[in-house]
């Protein structure tokens, strides 16, 4: 994904209340579970759309 290219636009949309990122974030995991997060994303397990890793 080319997130860097769209980061400014997306951040503005979020701040203006025009986009709710929680619609695409399906999983939030601790950083220690990054390998599992990548696995479920790649294999689309558990209806995974987007994983956010928390430090």
Domain boundaries, the chain: 20-55
Q: Which pLDDT belongs to residue 16?
A: 97
Q: Among residues 10, 43, 4, which one has the least CA distance to residue 24?
A: 10
| 1-53 pLDDT, tens digit each | 567 888 899 899 999 999 998 888 999 999 999 999 999 999 999 999 999 99
Q: Is the dihedral of CA 37, 41, 46, 48 positive or negative?
A: positive
Q: Which pLDDT belongs to residue 35?
A: 97
3 state SS of 29? strand
Q: Which pLDDT belongs to residue 53?
A: 96
Q: Is the pTM of this model over 0.75?
A: no
């Amino acid at each position: 994904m080319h997130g860097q290219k769209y980061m400014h636009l997306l951040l503005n949309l979020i701040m203006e209340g025009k986009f709710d990122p929680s619609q695409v974030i399906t999983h939030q995991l601790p950083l220690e579970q990054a390998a599992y997060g990548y696995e479920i994303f790649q294999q689309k397990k558990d209806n995974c759309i987007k994983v956010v890793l928390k430090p």
